[in-house]
Structures are given as C-alpha cells and as structure tokens.
Amino acid sequence: MAVPPPKRQPPRPGARRPASEQPEKSSFLSNPLFWVFFAFLGLIAAYLLQQRLAEMNQRPAPVAEKTPVVEKPPVVIETTKVEPPPVVVTPPPVIAPPKPEPIKPPVIVTEELPKFNRFYKTVSTRLVPAHLGDPKAPMKKEIQAAHDLRASPNAPLPVASGDGAKRATLRKTVEEYWAKIDPDRCLPHPDAEAFPGKVLEPADRVITTVNIPVNRSRWHSTGTYAAPGERITFRIPASDADMGLVARIGCHNDDITSDFAIKRENWHRFPVITNTVALNKRVIELANPFGGPIYIEMPGNDKNGKSRDQVRIEIVGAVEAPNFTLGKTTRTEWENSRLAPAPWAEMICDKMVVSVPAKHIRELSYAEATELMKTWTETVEACDWLAAWKDRRSAERIVSDAEISIGWMHSGYPIKCYLDSAKDSVNVTKLRKDGNWGFFHELGHNHQSSLWTYAGYTEVTCNLFALYCMEKIAGKKLGDGHGEDMAAMAAEMALDPKAHGASAFHLLAQYYHPVKQFGWISLQQTFAELSDRKDIKKADGMVKKNLGIAGREVEKQQEAIDKEKRQLELKIKTAVREKKDADKTAAETRLAEIFKEEKKIKEALGALSKHDSDERKKDIFVRTWSQEAGANLGPYFANFGWPYTDSMKTMLTPLKPWMPANFPPTKPGAKPAKSTLFGSKNEAMAGKDEAQGDNQTTNAQ
C-alpha cells in the first residue's frame, strides 16, 4: 500500500525560505515597455537618417505627383505619424571633380585578337573634340562658300542643266572645300544632320582595335562611325606604314558632279561627302564634315610584297555603329549592337555587305538578321556559279544614297541605290517572296564578261543573272521575275529582229527557249568554257581595238540612255497612278526623243566595230552552247539575225538541230510549223568526220 507524501507545512512566521524558493529579482530588460520605447527610437533614427541622405544627395525624395524643381535645399516637414521610410538606393554624394590632369595618348594594346574582332575602350571626349578654334573668328571663304551650298533630301539644290557657268562654279566650290579640310580645324557641315545623319547622343567615343586581313582587298568595315567634324586618329605599327593602306570615312562615294550626274536638275545631298587618307605614317588623323562609317581599304597585297595574314590598326575617337556579321555576331552582341548610336548600319557576310540607315535594322531580330545575310550569301553564290567564277577575294557591297551619279541604281563597287530601296535590301521576307530585280540586275553587271556581251547587249546579258536569281532565290518561274512574257517577245523578235527598237527585254528573250529546254547548267558550262578559250579572248581584244576611245564613249552613252528609259517608264507609271497628265505627256515626249538618239548610237557602234569581232564572238558562243546542250542551236539563233556560218554548220553537223515547238511563229494564213526538236539519224551522222577535224582545229586555237 502506497504511503502518501507528507503534507508541506506552511512556514512559521519569521522563518526564512530556502534559496531555491526565493523569487527572482525584476529587471528593466524584461519590461515590455522598454522594448516598445526602443523600437520607437529606432524608427525615428531611421527616418532622420533617410532625410539626411536625401539632403546630401541634393535631390527631393520621391513623391506621388510631379513637383516643380526648387533650387533651395529640401525642407524637412515634421509629422506626427511615423511610417517606415521607403528603401532608397542612392549613389555616393556628388563631389566636384578636381582639376583635370593632362591625358596621355592611349597606348596600343599588344595582345593578339581573333580575326575581324573589335576591342573597345571608352575614351574621354576631351581626346577627340572638333577643333573649331575661335568660334567668333571668320571662316575661310572656301569653307563659308561650301557651307552656304545646301543640298539635302528634303531640300534639294536646283542645278539647271542649261546653266553651265553655275555648274562650273559649284564644282570649283566643292573642290576647294575638300582641299581645305583640316583635321585640327574641321567644322560640321550644316546639312550633315539631314544626310548622312547625326549621331545619337550621349555616345561614348571609343578606342577600337581592328585586325584587317591582308588577302582580302577593297573596303573593310570597322564597326565604327565618325561624327561630323570630329577628328579620328589612326595608329598603325611603323612596319606597316608602307603597305598602301587607306583610311576612308563615308560609304557614299559617288561624285554627283561627274559628267553623267552633272546633267541632273537637282542635288539631294552635297556633291562629295567622303574622304580618304593614306596610312603611310605611324599616326594619321582624318576628319569629315559630314561624318560617315569608317573603313580600311586594303589593296590586296602590300606594295613591297610582304607576307602576313593581317594588319592591326587602332582607331581613336569614333562611336560604335550597328553591325551584324553572319557567323560571328552572337545574339547578345546583336541585341546591343543594333541600338548603337551611329546613324548607319552594316549587315555583313563573306559575299555581301549592305549599308543602310540604322533605323531600318533597329527592330530586326537576330533570327531575321541571320536569315537575311544567308539569303544574300545564296544570291551572290548563285551569280558566281552562273558566271563560272572559281573564287572570290572580296565581298560585293550595296549602299543606299540620297543621290547617285547615274540611273535609279547602278553597278560597281559599291552597287548604289536610292534611299527608297534601302528597306528592301534588308527585308528578307520580301526578298524570298518577290526577289528584287534591281539588285539582281546590278549584281549581273558586276558579273558580266565582254567575252559574251556584244554591242548593244550591256543591259541584256546582265539580266540573265536577274532571271536566274529570281528563280533561285524567290522561286519564280523562268521569265516571270520582271513580269514580261518572254515567249511572246521571242516570237516578236523572230518575226522582226529590229522590232521595238530591239529593247533590252526583247534581246533577253532570245535566251529564253534554250534555257527552258536545256537548263541553266548548259549556259553556265558555256560561260565556263568561254572563259578559257583563247580564240574568243582574241576576238574580244579585236572589239576593244576597233572601238577605241570613241567607241567606249558611245557605249557609255548607250548605258546612260538605257538608265534614263527605265526612269521615264517608272515616271509614266507613277503619273498614270497619280493622274498627272502633264507629267505623263512630258515623259512620253522625252521617251520618243530617246528612241531617236538610241538609233543614232547603235548606227555609230555598228560603224565603229563593223560587227566583225561581235559576229565572231556570237559564232563561238552559239557553237559552245550547242556543244554543252548537245543540240545544234545555230538555226534557232539565226531567227534573230545571229550568224549561222558554213563553218558553224559543218562543226555542228553531228548535233541534232533544235527548234522550239511552233517556232518561229507562223504568219497569218500559213500552216503551223512543226517542232524540229531533232533531225534524222542520217543527218546527224553526215559529215561527222569533217566536224571532228574542225573540233580538233578549234581546240588547238
């Protein structure tokens, strides 16, 4: 049985409690009121600290509504309600900088960089200001006269074609202006902001290091831009100062005071807005009153025959320009680069460089930029293939401009077009869907060979490349690229080779049926074969000799007329659309005059060349194409007045004669012609031995 514990007796009066039972002494830390008071003090201190930081930063605390800026120090307003202050991240107090010390010139970085890579360092703008001297000092009269010469896209300068004296004065003014340009005292031209455009400020001026490959000639993009009037410094190793390198500011290198352009009635920009300087010293300076993209021109091989892979050049004082290089620019780099402050951008691949106003690529995604330059790569490769070019040492270039020297577009390096076409050059969706006849046409000019281009065919054989690119790039059917009915025009030419003044498209139609029947590969192999033929090169030499200087001038006149015809045709279409009858009548009147001028030019060309050399080149062309196609094309081209000589008949006897169905077209009342795709076997075999002998003779030539 459990025994209950004894009951605890209450202490006797006066007795002392054990230590374990003594009550704890009270402390102020255990008092809740103390901690409430401490938290209140902390809130007050935090609020006062926030106000002090805002005062030191000299800017008002954020408020819900905009308040006018008061120059006096902010006033702290006492409030009874205490709230936790907002978390504000403030920079360190602004302290007036000490007096600047002289800045030493930047030192070239010596480490090696990958090919085409750029290295940027921000540089103080004090290194590269426009050296204007005393702003109150009068400008030199040559500078003042040029600055008074205002020509911009929105305010063109009228230059009447009949006022030769005024044009001569303007040309002299331009020449004197550029002769007086001094990097240490260069003034921005007043129209530079209108064209090429202004740099978006604020923009860092940078030190850029570029590596230029020696084995690729022509212009090399640096990804930088010179602001109007600002001095740019180029630094190269002393050992490379004799390589023939050239620095260029500006891609708009058309001189619109040229003999062709001088006839224009309006100038939409200053006549000359690019300049260059030879990099023949360790340090070279250059400035451009209009600004522009910066390039390094490489002659291909240095003049002293030195062997090296690349040249390292440092560029001081430029701003970064939007720049995309296929296969090199990353997605992140493009997202940053497309927003660079320069007004002009460049889209680059190994085969093509496209220069456009930066506004056209600001919204271009990385995927679109990649697909765009892949498309241009395919386009140039298509032209290279058709022309049977075995290698390419430099890229093609397209530059849009406010004014070009001749035509709506023109070939050369770079290919030039007006600003209206700039957006089309970087619109990959439109290129893939519709193609672009103008760009393909000019690329064709750059691939033309005089070995298979005859008098009056300058604007014809280039369009073979346009047709091919329309088919290859845009998926158009043969002949649909420009909207003409090639079959119908070929029929008209067969009935009358001189019909329609033998226009460029009617002459182009001569090639339609053979290409359709035997494919582009037969024509490509023909071009490849002709490029290696000594006999046709000899014939081409005869043409050049017979034509001489006078003949070349006549050919230039022909090219100018062809360009003007296309412009007038466009003007007529525009006038019809806008219902401007006066403009339509004027254009039609001028077009009629051009046809008369063209007739005289063709007669002059015929008299100069006597068609001896051209006839021989046509003869060899038809023979070669027939051999590549495996069919005798002589009778077909004879419909257009091409030679079908006895020697050609003999040589092509082993090949079966070919003619498209119902070609040439029958005249009214005549029976339809039967297709003569191939002749009889006996005809094909006749004269085989003789033809083989002729072949051996020709190959030996």
Q: Is the pLDDT of residue 472 over 50?
A: yes
Mean pLDDT of 448-465: 92
Predicted pLDDT of residue 479: 82
Q: pLDDT exceeding 70 applies to what percent of the chain?
A: 70
Alpha carbons 71 and 73: distance in angstroms, whole number = 7
At 94, the amino acid letter reads: V
542 vs 546: CA distance, rounded Å: 6
Residue 130: C-alpha distances to residues 122, 126, 151, 182, 226 (Å): 18, 10, 23, 11, 11
Computed from CA positions of residues 498, 500, 503, 506, in that sequence, does the dihedral angle turn out positive or negative?
A: negative
Please compute Rg for the chain using Cα positions. Answer: 39
Q: Compare 700 and 268 and report the one with higher pLDDT.
A: 268
Is residue 162 scored above 70 in pLDDT?
Answer: no
Confidence at 87, pLDDT banded by 50, 70, 90: very low
pLDDT digits (tens, 9 = 90+) for 310-332: 899 999 999 999 999 999 999 99
In angstroms, the CA 392 to CA 403 distance is 29
Of the two residues 133 and 291, the one the predictor is more confident about is: 291
d(CA 619, CA 304): 44
Give residue 180's identity as a one-letter amino acid code. K
**What is the number of alpha carbons within 13 Å of residue 690 lying toward its C-beta?**
12
Average pLDDT, rounded, for the chain = 77
Q: Which of 22-31, 68-77, 139-148, 488-497 has the lowest mean pLDDT?
A: 68-77
Q: Give dist(CA 512, CA 502) in Å, integer.
A: 15
Judge contact between 347 and 369, C-beta under 8 A. yes
pLDDT band for 304, please (50, 70, 90 cuts).
very low
Mean pLDDT lowest for which of 136-140, 260-264, 267-271, 332-336?
136-140
**Better pLDDT: 306 or 266:** 266
Helix (H) or strand (E) holding 311, with range, is: strand 310-320
Q: Is the pTM of this model over 0.75?
A: no
User: How many Å apart are CA 127 and CA 108, to the nearest integer?
Assistant: 15
In terms of Cβ atoms closer than 10 Å to its own Cβ (0-12, 13-18, 19+), residue 518 is buried
Q: Which stretches within 610-654 are classed as H helix?
A: 612-629, 634-638, 646-651
Is the per-residue pLDDT at 160 higher than 90? no
* pLDDT exceeds cutoff 50 at 553: yes
| DSSP state at residue 249 | E
Over residues 203-217, mean pLDDT: 88
Q: What is the mean pLDDT of residues 10-38?
A: 58
**Given this model, what pLDDT does residue 625 score?**
96
CA–CA distance, 320 with 123 (Å, rounded to integer): 12
* pLDDT for residue 333: 95
pLDDT tier for residue 254 given thresholds of 50, 70 and 90: very high
Mean of pLDDT values over 144-150: 88
- Highest average pLDDT, of 55-64, 74-83, 216-225, comes from 216-225
Rounded to whole angstroms, what are the CA distances from 103 to 99, 205, 479?
12, 15, 65
Query: Would you state the pLDDT for residue 277?
Result: 94
Single-letter amino acid code for the residue at 516: K
Q: What is the pLDDT of residue 137?
A: 58
pLDDT band at 164 (very low <50, low <70, confident <90, very high): confident
Give the pLDDT band of residue 208 (cuts 50, 70, 90): very high
d(CA 689, CA 320): 70
pLDDT of residue 301: 52
Q: How confident is the model at residue 676 (pLDDT cuts 50, 70, 90)?
A: very low
| pLDDT tens-digit readout, 576-608 | 777 888 888 888 888 888 777 777 766 665 555
Q: For residues 487-499, give the mean pLDDT.
A: 83
Q: Cβ distance 698 to 619 under 8 Å?
A: no
Query: Which of 516, 509, 519, 522 lies closest to 665, judged by CA?
Result: 509
Q: What would the two tokens of residue 551 be? A: 């003949």
